[in-house]
Amino acid sequence: MKANRKHGGAVLTWAHSAAVSISVLALIGLVTLIAVRGLHHFWPAPVDEVRYAEADGSEILLYGQIREREFVPASRLGDGVPRADRLPDGAGTWRTLLKTGNRDLAGSDFRWIYDTGVISRAQPEDLAVLERREWGVFIGRLLQIDTSERSYGGAEAWPAFRHSLARSRELRGQIDELENDGIGKINYRLERLRVAERRLDLDPGGPDEALRREELRQERTLLQGEYSRIEQELAALYRALGRDSVLTETSNGQQTEVRLAAILDAWRPNTMDPVEKTGHFLRKLGQFLVDEPREANMEGGVFPAIYGTILMVFLMTVVVAPFGVMTAVYLHEYAGQNSFTRLVRITVSNMAGVPSIVYGVFGLGFFVYTLGGGIDRLFFDATLPAPTFGTGGLFWASLTMALLTLPVVIVSTEEGLTRIPRNIREGSLALGATQWETLRRTVLPMASPGIITGLILAVARAAGEVAPLMLVGVVKLAPSLPLDGNFPYQHLERKFMHLGFHIYDVGFQSPNVEAARPLVFATALLLIVVAVSLNLVAFHIRNGLRKKYRGLET
């Protein structure tokens, strides 16, 4: 009997080990897949020149980068497969997804081609990829560049183009600085003046009303003069930026002129060595992390979403930590074991099982409409009917997520308090300490690993939640960051972007699925990195506290 019981225990142990190993391997495989599919987007893939036979027998020339390949069995082959009669009976063929670019000219920047229709394939060195502000990338040949000094063609075109592109970036940087730091600040101050004048209209007749109105008028005049000066500088910069253009040629021989101001970057991947490709990869990855999104989030970077995610998690932690700890301390240290505390614990357990979208509805109704609307009526009446806090924003989203994760922190803190031996409390009280002094100086420090564990779980959940945020402040594209150079600098009432919602928007709301797919993987990988980084910081703090109080929990 004992031998059978021992054998059964060993089998159960091996089964648990196998289950854990399979789970770990599946997790590693999933993260690896996301990383490969996401990071491959930033690698400068070579541009193929493909001579291709259509199903009707005509031949065309295609320029494109290979995005993916898949095998098509014979049962899925349709009538559009070129030269399908050359395939053996019952045989399938491979097809390739080419990123051909030039969406503004061809209507689509991706195309599937079958191996049966490929006549020839080459990688000419003069094929270039131009990253544009709109319409995605352009793939083709650079024929000529026209600058304010002269025109360059032939072998001189590409070096002259690179030089002019660098100058264009400098001009664009000056324009962005004037528009954001100059025009943006002036518009913000003009809006403040409008609100101040509105307050005087709502409450007229004050002793200093005439003087105050004259001060506002003089300040408005100064701001309008500064605005006109910056506008003149911007006009001069835009004229300088719009002088240069390039003449390009597509695969079908169509020539088109592209303004240099519309081009962000350009490269010839077929001439790049591994070192240059690695440098290009790192540069594009860095731009993805620090740039703003473009073209309905299908191009550009995700910095606003990174900033919004981290700031929301930080604010949520600041709110949920004290309330969760205080509730757990009251239930465990002060409240008696009666029907009221049992009801509170049941409520907390039930809160943990409530769907997250319900918290979003509550946050919209209570935080946004009730509290936010009340704040607007009390302190921002001059801006009404335009809401300030009476609409979704970063602060209300953080409070909603704090309420969502509150049960996790309460339960983890109570478990940490339960692990503290009773004799430690009794020893502290025997030495003359009060219950509050014992709690503050002995019990809570020793229970801090459990508290940090609850915060780790709260951060992990908050970083990935999307449904409640869609109701209380997250948006597809925020016009500006919640942080700027205008007082109070950090604007918690503003709407914000979130990595989780960005993944949803790009993956399911994008008009160009093929272009958006690699960005979904890249953003998902970034969200994993952000969540893991936040958790690693919490793990480090928790392990340090465990080492400090090791040996006391016996």
**Are 447 and 416 spatial neighbours (Cβ–Cβ below 8 Å)?**
yes
pTM for the structure as a whole: 0.89
At residue 108, the pLDDT reads 86
- The residue behind tokens 């503290």 is 420
Alpha helices (H) along 291-420 = 303-329, 339-352, 356-362, 373-379, 394-418
**Are 101 and 138 spatial neighbours (Cβ–Cβ below 8 Å)?**
yes
At residue 306, the pLDDT reads 92
Q: 525 CB contacts (<8 Å, ≥6 apart)?
A: 31, 34, 35, 38, 39
Question: For residue 385, how far is the Cα from the chain centroid?
Answer: 31
Pairing of strands 110-114, 59-72: unpaired
**Are 165 and 150 spatial neighbours (Cβ–Cβ below 8 Å)?**
no
End-to-end Cα separation, the chain, in angstroms: 36
Listed in order, strand segments (DSSP E) in 496-548 are none
At residue 554, the pLDDT reads 47
CA 441 – CA 419 distance, rounded (Å) = 16
The one-character DSSP state at 490 is B
Alpha helices (H) along 149-183 = 157-177
CA 430 – CA 423 distance, rounded (Å) = 10
Residue 397 amino acid letter: A
The one-character DSSP state at 45 is P
Residue 155 amino acid letter: A
Grouping H, G, I as helix, E, B as strand and the rest as coil, residue 66 is strand
Alpha helices (H) along 419-443 = 422-430, 435-438
CA 288 – CA 265 distance, rounded (Å) = 13
Could you check whether the bond before residue 385 is cis, i.e. omega within 30 degrees of 0?
yes
| φ, ψ at 130 (rounded to 5°) | -110, 120
Which H or E run contains 189? helix 184-202
CB atoms near residue 143 (< 10 Å): 15
Grouping H, G, I as helix, E, B as strand and the rest as coil, residue 63 is strand
**Are 213 and 197 spatial neighbours (Cβ–Cβ below 8 Å)?**
yes
Per-residue DSSP letters for 115-151?
A: GGGEEEEE--TTEEEEEESSSSEEEEEEEEEE-SS-E
Q: Count Cα atoms within 13 angstroms, Cβ side, for 510.
A: 22
Could you tell me what percentage of the chain is helix, strand and coil, using 3-state DSSP and rounding each to the nearest 5? 60, 15, 25
How confident is the prediction along the chain (554 residues), in pLDDT tens digits per residue?
555 555 666 778 888 888 999 999 998 999 999 999 999 999 999 999 999 998 888 899 999 999 999 998 888 887 778 887 777 877 888 999 999 999 988 888 899 999 989 999 999 999 999 999 888 899 999 999 998 888 898 888 999 999 999 999 999 989 988 988 888 889 989 989 998 888 888 877 677 888 888 888 999 999 999 999 999 999 999 988 888 899 999 998 899 999 988 999 999 999 999 999 999 999 999 999 999 898 888 888 999 999 999 999 999 999 999 999 999 999 888 887 788 888 888 888 888 888 999 999 999 999 999 999 999 999 888 888 889 899 999 999 999 999 999 999 998 888 888 888 888 888 888 888 888 888 888 888 888 888 888 888 888 888 888 889 999 989 988 877 888 877 778 888 999 999 999 998 888 888 888 888 889 999 999 988 888 887 788 778 877 777 776 655 44
The one-character DSSP state at 260 is G
> What's the token pair of residue 257?
């002129």
